[in-house]
Chains A and B, each alone.
Chain A
Amino acid sequence: MGQKASGWKEIPIAGVCWRPSTEYQTGDWRTFRPIHDSNKCTKCLLCPMVCPDGAIKWNAETENIEFAYAFCKGCGICANECPVDAIQMVREGEEV
């Protein structure tokens, strides 16, 4: 003891997360992969809103739904919720 403790201005800033989580790709957790059928799709935009991972994007240029397979964890919510069954879950490594 004897030494004076440093004030709040001197102590280092603790625990600041500085890298975006998008650098960490969660896609390799997946067992089943969603396959989108753009012929059946009515573009109701439900699936992007119910995806827990933000892995379903709306491409304004092509006017279509796109999957970010780098982040999709394969939960299957989109396939379960799709009102017209335009999304199918296929086991990784298998063909449609």
Chain B
Amino acid sequence: MTAPWKFTAREIVEKPDLFTSGHRACAGCGPAIALRQIMKATRGPTIVTNATGCMEVVSTIYPYTAWKVPWIHTAFENVAANASGIEAALKVLKRKGKLEHKNVDVIAFAGDGGTFDIGLQALSGAAERGHDFLYVLYDNEAYMNTGIQRSGGTPHGASTTTSPGGKVIPGKPQFKKPIANIMVAHEIPYVATASISFWQDLIIKTRRGLEVKGPAFLHVFAPCPRGWRYHTSKTIEISRLAVETCVFPLWEAKYGEYSLSPQSKVVALKPERKKPVKEYLEVQRRFGHLFKPGFRNVIDEIQNITDKRWNQLLKKCNIT
């Protein structure tokens, strides 16, 4: 075991960006913040592979690239397979003595479409084979890059272009897939959820994911001003609200052992601090139709599913 990573805010801020300025994400982009923060937590030579998605499109518009590390684009469905290949190639080079670095980290980035829906089988396979890489899911809860279509990661009641909230349906009728729990069920060494509003927590978890031997999975909550319909300045505020309302609790699971992260533990120990989901819903216009007469019961449904999943999580963390 290596000693836990210690850092000061100043060291992190002074560390040069590996995901640089000049990328063409929308103003106030949540995933771009996530990528900047995550790339601040690298510990040495790193290879990044990126599934198709917002962050692939905005960071490498030919001939420009925002990446200061070796980076490879791959199709929507196979980023985990690609990362497996990179890791296997590194292993062979090391065995043949052709690798000058002692250690090279592999990070795979994918959005919610590339993870919840299209890339799940490649991810599941790579996790089962036990490749040593970190898989980062930046979750903006729909296919934003192609025009806000619903994905497996879109929450119940959210209006998207393929699940429009109107007179007939209250936005997406189904619930969000609990992807991080699915990854814990693969019995991999490290699974964690993180939010861009708590950057220290996010980069500590990134580093843990890199340090661990074997596959690691990081689910990062990254709001999208364009698709969620809120003002660009509220990105961090909304991601903080998601943690405070327990819509997106922060936890980590090492070898299947769940533990709550400090930001969510505060809410668990002092239940009066838990905010109602209404506060989280009313600041986003994708939930705007729920506040008109007709679909009011959907807000209760969202509160119920949030409470149910929160209580299940508390049980897993042995907090009652």
Contact = CB atoms under 8 A, between A and B. Distances in A.
Interface residues of A, number: 37
B207 to A, nearest CB: 15
Given A49-B37, A54-B36, A77-B28, A21 B233 contact: no
A76 B231 contact: yes
Interface in A29-64: 29-30, 44-45, 48-55, 58, 60
A70 B20 CA distance: 13
Contacts of B65: 17-21
A78 to B, nearest CB: 8
Contacts of A24: 22, 24, 64
Given A21-B20, A25-B22, A81-B237, A76 B28 contact: yes
Contact of B64 (A17, A44, A50, A77): A17
B1 to A, nearest CB: 28
User: Size band of the B side of the interface?
Assistant: 35 or more
A48 B13 contact: yes
Nearest to A60: B14
Contacts of B122: none
A22 B20 contact: yes
Interface string B218-231: 00000001000001
Nearest to A76: B233
Given A54-B36, A60-B14, A75-B232, A17 B62 contact: yes
Contacts of B23: 21, 26, 53
Given A49-B9, A49-B36, A55-B21, 8 more contacts: A20-B65, A21-B64, A23-B22, A26-B22, A30-B27, A51-B36, A53-B32, A80-B237
Interface of B: 9-10, 12-14, 17, 19-30, 32-33, 36-37, 59-66, 73, 196, 199, 225, 231-237
